[in-house]
Structure 1
Amino acid sequence: MKGAGVAPGHDPVPAGRRARAALDAAERLLDTARRLLDDHTRAVTAIREAFGPLQRELMETELRAIPVSRLRDVTAGRLRLGALEQAGFTSVHEVYEAGRHTLRQVPGVGAHTAGQAVAAATRIAEAVGETVSVRIDVDHPEPRTTALVVALHRLVEAGPGLRRAHDTAERLATELRALLPQAAPARGRLRLALSGRDGRARALGAVGRIRRLLDEAAEAEVPLLFAQMSVDLLREPASEIEAWVDFELRSADYYGVLTQTAGGTPDVAAAEGFMPSEIAGRVRAQPLDDTRLRVSLRGYQSFGARFALAQRRVIIGDEMGLGKTVQAIAALAHLAARGGTHFLVVCPSSVLINWTREIGSRSTLRAIPVHGPERQEAFTEWRERGGVAVTTFDSLHTLPLLRAREGPGDRTGTLRDEPRMLVVDEAHYVKNPDTRRSRAMSDWAEHAGHVLFLTGTPMENRVAEFRSLIRRLQPGLAPAVQGADAVVGAHAFRRAVAPAYLRRNQQDVLAELPALVRVDEWEELSAGDLAAYRTAVADAHFMRMRRAAYARPETSAKLGRLRELVTEAAGNELKVVVFSYFREVLTAVHQALGEGVFGPLSGDMPADRRQRIVDRFGAVPGHAVLLSQIQAGGVGLNMQAASVVILCDPQVKPTLEHQAVARAHRMGQIRPVQVHRLLAVDSVDQRLLDILADKNRLFDAYARRSEMADATPDAIDVAERDIARRIVEEEQLRLAGGADAAGGPGGPVGPGGPGGGSS
């Protein structure tokens, strides 16, 4: 601290006082860190105490089903079980519960046999404990699962910052506990003088390290982070209904916290894509800076992001629903935190809006859509300011590579290592190296620091396609990619191509099956869609506005995305249910998908015929598609054979949507259910969601859970006609630029009204 009138090199604050101030600040920081760790421990303990009885019950059920004879297998046949079997012991559970002392009371069972039997039963119990998965049934809550959900809510609500705060608190607490005693002599001049030469050196060195820790903590705003997380951890427990509602909305986050705190971790080899140990070890050692992320990663997602960073030029081919996008964003965020400025995402036009939204909601990175007539201006902005440029395959060839000038008079420029990462979504779009889009992508990939291809289709089923993609990433690996590896099996194939390919399946890494994953698929209306939409708005026809995105199937953006989702589901042999309010929308979907589609189910179809169609759909091995009006399929039918649900249009009655999803996401479902809701920006879809979001979420969900709400869903939905009139008025004003549109604000809702249209 220097100021006017102070001699150079002279510090007006005595060194002892400055040291005491630093040590006092360090003790306060240590105390804050300890309190945070204690609060976190209490929250984790509450989860484990709620989880324990549920896990033990599942273990006991499993152990009761294992015959006592299996104990002999564990001991390689050395265990004599005759006396135990004669005494009535029939299951491993009975031996495990009995213990050594009880078994020794059995005639013919000595101390050695009793010890062996209990040890074998314990080994089996431990193995069972690692494999059983506690599933939280939202449709049948009971006191024990309610206690678990309430306990989990505290950590889920704290958000992704909690893990960062916890890890930082642990590191600071460890360092400060060691440094403060060493630095203690620096509190007083006399005490420091009496410490001897070595003691003084240790004390002053410790003070210096403490100051650096304090500066780093202040720069990273650690005290503020600790304060925020402490507030979250010390909140009053959520009410039971609030916790259950929140669980319904983001069950994946709850299961993620449960896995981190109470065990139940999926098989590590599967979570790491059955990767050879030397590559897996290198990936695990790769740091992952999450300071610019807004979400917590599951363990397998963290591994995927590290894989992309450590191996630099790779394909992540996880099964759909496992979060390939968030893994890519995590890798981008890490590079940005380490100084990266320019990143590029290339994707089909149907998912460009989703990428832009996901980057903004899941990270602090700035996404810039580089698409459409203003793409050159957007590209210039990205080149000058940095961020994540999101462009399409068809636009990429129009964008010049980033160049850095060597000097003022240099016109040629030299290529930089930019972008720091190139992400290519739906990478199979560039499998043919001779196409213009593939050549453009290869030019960018050649000069990118990292390249990440994403695809949801299993490459072991497409060896030639994989070889083509791998040549763009790691040419030296391409000759080693042989079809024979795929013939041997998926695991063998993945091991053979491990340096460049990572794939995980849902059943391998999501131990909490079934989870519910919701994705809003935002699309821009095509020119044809927009023309039909404008006409419907001008006519004040609300129902035609809702289905305008499908009025011209040949150019429909929503239909294009629907076909992509169905194709990916087919590649993974997943069954799909497609819901729409409108029969003519389902007709357009049927025509777009072609033959082999079941349905559509409709409201005027007899119930027994609907059930027969659903049964045939479920009986088909592998992939199949079922179409249904949401009013017909949303009630009374069980569609748990499907694990992908596509909603063609948002509903005025939220209960219709919830009930339709519940047809697939229910008891009997053995896979996570993915719900894709197709939405159009700047349209009735967006207005409808904005209005419905204003409703009280807690009351709506509570009413949905009541028996009366299930019987009379109309009772809790807002007035449809009011919603329709409001949206029509707003859209007429918006499209007319504030002037009265045809029909005028306050005009008729249109033929059929909010409940009319095709049914």
Structure 2
Amino acid sequence: MAKLFDTADAERLIQEHRMMLEELDEIAQYEDNVQIDIEKAANLVVTRNVLDVLRDIPVEEINREKGGFRVKALRDHGFRSIADIVAANVYSISSVHGISEDAAYSIKRIANDMADKVREGAKIKLNVDNKTRESTALVTALSKYGYARETAKECRGLITENRRQIEYAIEDLLLSQKRLKWIFASSAKKQKAVDAYEFLDSYRNGNYGQRVREQRTIFENTKRINGIDAWKEFSEHSVSFFNALENIVPGTLGNDDSIYGLPEELAREVQEECFFPDGLLCELRRYQEWGVKYALHQKRVLLGDEMGLGKTVQAIATMVSLKNTGASHFAVVCPASVVTNWCREIRKMSRLQVVKIHGAGRKEALNSWISAGGVAVTTFETTAHFNLPESFELSLLVVDEAHYIKNSEARRTVNVKKICERAERMLFMTGTALENKPEEMVALIHILCPDIALRIQHMLALTAAPQFREAVAPVYYRRKREDVLTELPELIESEEWCTLGQAEKDIYEQAVFGKNFAETRRVSWNAENIKDSCKAKRLMELIEEAESEKRKVIIFSFFLDTIRKVVQLLGDRCMNPINGSVSPQRRQEIIDDFDKAPAGAVLAAQIQSGGTGLNIQSASVIILCEPQLKPSIENQAISRAYRMGQTRNVLVYRLLCENSIDERIMDILKDKQEKFDAFADKSVAAAESIKMDDHTIGNIIAEEIERIKAEKDQSNEK
């Protein structure tokens, strides 16, 4: 039988496939190599942090235990800090006049002991504002790891699926490379060689070859990732970086509590719980996934994580996991001020369908949800109209700000409890520290698990004791920020979207049609009764939550009238406001009074006056009443609290209204900021270019007029 291929072609084909298999092995191995790089880089970051601390410890501390060493001689020789001693060897220390070799060994041992103690408490903090050589190497390795892990998985799959049959084909085709054997080979063996050639040729040019080439390209691009690329990716996807670091080098983020405070037996059960994230559009931190597993395993729980730890995303992830196991109907009950926020977050973070059951169309929305399923988001007040069919079963009920139903006699508590009777699972959430209000804790736990409520009823004086924490662990779970977010920069920003009531909406539309830009920007704050303002309601909730965590609050607004209304609303809990008419000396006196005030104190200031030149580190919550027209104004205001000397994470909340000018301003500023970051030097002139000009403002008003008219026309057609 004639051979259907050229011998040289066959040899090249064999070599090409061997090279592809070697490449797949190399790419699969690269993940392990990058892990080693991460471990080395993390160690260098920690070492640098330790040395930075030791540089602030003078060499005189060597004699703290009365060692009697000649530290003046050491200092004169250039050993000014403990870091200098740690970095030196014994022989260089003993070369100092008056320091014997024996003394050098003792000095070195004392310095190393100090370094070991500092290292025990050292933790890694990655921050785009502090790009050291060591942290850049670590971030670069972590960036590479994200791609290396995916390509390694793909390559291992290709190897498992194809290696054996490729190697068998190569073995059959090798016959063609041996001239004499080929001449005397049987027809069957020659046919096998022909088939092998065709198989390998089709593999090279088919799906297998294409996938290998794709992984080769990704691999080469991954190796070329530099510090600039890595920091950019880190700023956009820091969660995946921290998760990888936490998994590869446990403890370097400062949190080596792998069970997050749960009793060991319960923790083991929670750890084994299955979580199905398909359809979740964000990555969870490890502690967040642990919270989801806790909720799934325990079924009826009260999640009390502190502000900023992501209780909302944990609730959404719990619903996603249940949806993937056949659940269909979920409900969220929350204050009216956060209904819009919940709807937005669910859509942004998952593929779950959302139905807002609130306002005029609540009956139709309820019927639609009952029929089609998804997540119903409603208010405590609307639960009075939550009429469910007799046989209806709810997969999960989420109650946000659960302390709203602490009073068993209140109408809203009674209404929510009726829905609880239809729920297979319940997830109550509150950022308020219930350990300080044990009666409220018992009231909420009684709804969830009456047996545990009865058990702890007589232990309320022991809320800080281990016995009490263990007793409530099956139903109440609270993590503190400093325990689980030790690695994050100290700035956490949130957009708080509010929904206008009809009265607010009418005032807003009047301002828009009057082309009064300033009045339009005061959306919600120009309500006739400030207590009817949706922004004011959310403001009060944030202040209450901040007070429960012993935080102080600064409130900024561009408008003097808004500041006056905030002060009127808050009464005695608010300091004297700062505005343009207050002298610099008086401003500092107000700041000093604010610094001395107890937790929960509030300072209101016009952003032009209180946003520059003042240091207000005693505050750790900043609330912006409306978006500003230049990002630099907001940044300056935030930096009043987010600066050297701040000891707590700073939480920034922007109060915004849906379907209003707030949306347009935020969109335009984000777009301008992105273009600025991409193309402009960070100069004052460039920063000024981000602000809005008169033309942009005119366009915003015109677009708002058109939007409102279109809404009214659509409403009239119905």
Same fold (TM over 0.5): yes
The CA deviation string for residues 407-437 of structure 1, in whole angstroms up to 9 with x for no partner, is xxxxxx4x5xx32221111001111222332
Partner Cα separation in structure 2 for residue 83 and residue 237 of structure 1: 49
* Structure 2 contact 611–637 (Cα < 8 Å) conserved: yes
SS in 2 for 1:391: strand
Q: 1:56 aligns with which of 36, 39, 47?
A: 47
Q: Point out the more displaced range, 32-41 or 287-296.
A: 32-41
In our comparison, the structure showing a higher alpha carbon Rg is 2
Partner Cα separation in structure 2 for residue 152 and residue 168 of structure 1: 17
Are 1:132 and 2:122 an aligned pair?
A: yes
Are 1:382 and 2:369 an aligned pair?
A: yes
The aligned residue for residue 192 of structure 1 is none
The aligned amino acid for 1:733 is E
The CA deviation string for residues 673-693 of structure 1, in whole angstroms up to 9 with x for no partner, is 211111111111112122233
Are 1:627 and 2:604 an aligned pair?
A: yes
The aligned residue for residue 475 of structure 2 is 500
SS in 1 for 2:423: coil
* Structure 2 contact 669–690 (Cα < 8 Å) conserved: no
* Structure 1 contact 397–437 (Cα < 8 Å) conserved: yes
Q: 2:525 aligns with which of 524, 532, 550?
A: 550
The aligned residue for residue 461 of structure 1 is 436
The aligned amino acid for 1:54 is V
Alignment of 1:97-496 (within 5 A): 128-136=118-126, 138-139=128-129, 141-149=131-139, 165=150, 176=160, 230=218, 234=222, 237=225, 240=228, 255-256=242-243, 258-263=245-250, 264-269=252-257, 272-401=259-388, 413=391, 415=392, 418-482=393-457, 484=459, 487=462, 489=464, 493-496=468-471
The CA deviation string for residues 334-380 of structure 1, in whole angstroms up to 9 with x for no partner, is 11222222211111111111111111111222222122222222222
SS in 1 for 2:332: strand
Shift, 1:633, TM fit: 2.4
Partner Cα separation in structure 2 for residue 429 and residue 148 of structure 1: 45
Judged with a 3 Å threshold, the aligned counterparts in structure 2 of structure 1 residues 298 and 642 are, in CA distance, closer, same or farther, namely same
Shift, 1:661, TM fit: 1.9
SS in 1 for 2:524: helix
Partner Cα separation in structure 1 for residue 491 and residue 220 of structure 2: 25
SS in 2 for 1:595: helix
Which sections of structure 1, spanning at least 5 residues, go unmatched? 1-26, 72-76, 190-217, 404-412, 741-759
Judged with a 3 Å threshold, the aligned counterparts in structure 2 of structure 1 residues 400 and 28 are, in CA distance, closer, same or farther, namely farther
Partner Cα separation in structure 2 for residue 673 and residue 95 of structure 1: 37
* Structure 1 contact 345–389 (Cα < 8 Å) conserved: yes
Partner Cα separation in structure 1 for residue 597 and residue 254 of structure 2: 29
Are 1:600 and 2:587 an aligned pair?
A: no
Shift, 1:268, TM fit: 3.9
Shift, 1:663, TM fit: 2.2
Shift, 1:660, TM fit: 1.7
Q: Point out the more displaced range, 293-302 or 661-670.
A: 661-670
Are 1:682 and 2:663 an aligned pair?
A: no
The aligned residue for residue 541 of structure 1 is 516
The aligned residue for residue 706 of structure 2 is 733
SS in 2 for 1:358: helix
Shift, 1:531, TM fit: 1.4
Judged with a 3 Å threshold, the aligned counterparts in structure 2 of structure 1 residues 281 and 684 are, in CA distance, closer, same or farther, namely same
Shift, 1:230, TM fit: 4.6
Q: TM-score, normalised by structure 2?
A: 0.77
* Structure 2 contact 279–351 (Cα < 8 Å) conserved: yes
Judged with a 3 Å threshold, the aligned counterparts in structure 2 of structure 1 residues 229 and 431 are, in CA distance, closer, same or farther, namely farther
Which sections of structure 2, spanning at least 5 residues, go unmatched? 1-17, 173-206, 714-718
* Structure 1 contact 579–628 (Cα < 8 Å) conserved: yes
Partner Cα separation in structure 1 for residue 239 and residue 616 of structure 2: 21
The aligned residue for residue 656 of structure 1 is 633
Partner Cα separation in structure 1 for residue 572 and residue 165 of structure 2: 77
* Structure 1 contact 600–628 (Cα < 8 Å) conserved: yes
Shift, 1:324, TM fit: 0.7
Partner Cα separation in structure 2 for residue 669 and residue 440 of structure 1: 43
* Structure 2 contact 676–690 (Cα < 8 Å) conserved: no
The aligned residue for residue 573 of structure 1 is 550
* Structure 1 contact 152–254 (Cα < 8 Å) conserved: yes
The CA deviation string for residues 434-477 of structure 1, in whole angstroms up to 9 with x for no partner, is 23322232233233232111000111111111111111111111
Percent of residue pairs identical: 36
Q: Point out the more displaced range, 85-94 or 327-336.
A: 85-94
* Structure 1 contact 155–233 (Cα < 8 Å) conserved: no
Shift, 1:310, TM fit: 1.2
Partner Cα separation in structure 1 for residue 224 and residue 349 of structure 2: 27
Q: 1:525 aligns with which of 500, 509, 528?
A: 500
Judged with a 3 Å threshold, the aligned counterparts in structure 2 of structure 1 residues 369 and 228 are, in CA distance, closer, same or farther, namely farther
Partner Cα separation in structure 2 for residue 391 and residue 232 of structure 1: 51
* Structure 1 contact 150–243 (Cα < 8 Å) conserved: yes
The aligned residue for residue 7 of structure 1 is none
Shift, 1:313, TM fit: 0.8
Partner Cα separation in structure 1 for residue 643 and residue 245 of structure 2: 20
The CA deviation string for residues 581-605 of structure 1, in whole angstroms up to 9 with x for no partner, is 1111111111122213124222343
Judged with a 3 Å threshold, the aligned counterparts in structure 2 of structure 1 residues 81 and 627 are, in CA distance, closer, same or farther, namely same
The CA deviation string for residues 513-567 of structure 1, in whole angstroms up to 9 with x for no partner, is 5432221111111122111101101211011001031112121001000100000
Shift, 1:398, TM fit: 1.6
Partner Cα separation in structure 1 for residue 600 and residue 286 of structure 2: 29
Judged with a 3 Å threshold, the aligned counterparts in structure 2 of structure 1 residues 85 and 278 are, in CA distance, closer, same or farther, namely farther
